[in-house]
Amino acid sequence: MQQQVAKASIKAPFSGTIDDIITEKGNVVATGLTAIFRIVSLENMYVKADVPETYITSVTVGKQVEVSFAVLGETFDTTISQTGSFINPNNRTFKAEIDLKNRKNNIKPNLTARLKINDYTNKNAIVIPQSIISENAQGEQYIYILKQINQDKAVASRVIIETGKKQGNSIEVLSGLKDGDQIIEEGARSVKDEQPVKIITY
């Protein structure tokens, strides 16, 4: 009887606020089976995300993450606190979890967030607009740079490049360019190799 009486007391596994009463007074409940209350704690929140398996080597615990909530107009800088050890065979993703400090208590459960995860860093990277890159019949990528610069006149020179990571319309150049090279951006697809061009500054 003492064991039965002990089941009459409901103890939450964590401190929080009762957000919803699911089972009304007088209803029959079964221990561990019937949902009675929904209790919510807003102190220590976290964001869960499904990350494509192609990022499994770069999205790891401790990586920098920018978490933004559009409806709140707020952005948080934090790190990945946990990654899953299982690849979902249905969508080829793995779980990533990011802890958040909910100082204003305005982040609610099931709120949609946008994540920007720093999966790659290269402080010496040369980045150019992807829209200025062309490709020849051999599948090589090339752009045009300026040479023989004389005041506002120069000559367009075609250079073969090798590209790496990309983000949006920007792409990393691994080889073919060096620091200080001046590239042709406006009209890049209409010039030809060794063509005289005029430099326009804004």
- pLDDT tens-digit profile, the chain (202 residues): 888 777 777 777 778 778 788 888 878 877 777 888 888 778 788 999 999 999 999 899 999 999 999 999 999 999 999 999 999 999 999 999 999 988 888 898 889 999 998 888 888 889 999 999 999 989 999 999 999 888 888 999 999 999 998 888 899 999 999 888 999 888 788 888 999 988 877 6
Task: Please report whether residue 2 resides in a domain.
Answer: no
Enumerate the β-bridge partners of residue 183. 145
Among 61, 85, 117, the domain boundary falls at 117
In this prediction, residue 26 carries a pLDDT of 78
Give yes or no for a contact between 155 and 147, defined as CB atoms under 8 angstroms apart. Answer: yes
Closest CA to 101 of 76, 81, 118: 76
- The pTM for the full model equals 0.58
Among candidates 122, 125, 74, 83, which has minimal Cα distance to 101? Answer: 74
Asked, for residue 21, whether it belongs to a domain, the answer is no
With respect to residue 7, please indicate whether it lies within any of the assigned structural domains: no
Domain count, the chain: 2
Q: Is 54 helix (H, G, I), strand (E, B) or coil?
A: helix
Annotate 54-77 with b (16+ C-beta within 10 A) or e (fewer). Answer: ebeeebeeebebebebeeeeeebe
Instruction: Give residue 52's domain range.
Output: 44-117
Q: 135: which 2 tokens?
A: 């490709």
Residue that is last in its domain, among 117, 150, 179: 117
Which CATH number fits the domain that encloses residue 62?
Answer: 2.40.30.170
Is residue 34 within 8 Å of residue 55, measured between CB atoms? no
Structure confidence at residue 179 (pLDDT): 87
Q: Between the CA of residue 202 and those of 11, 181, 199, what are the distances in Å? A: 69, 18, 10
User: What is the pLDDT at residue 199?
Assistant: 81
Q: Which residues partner with 47 through β-bridges?
A: 98
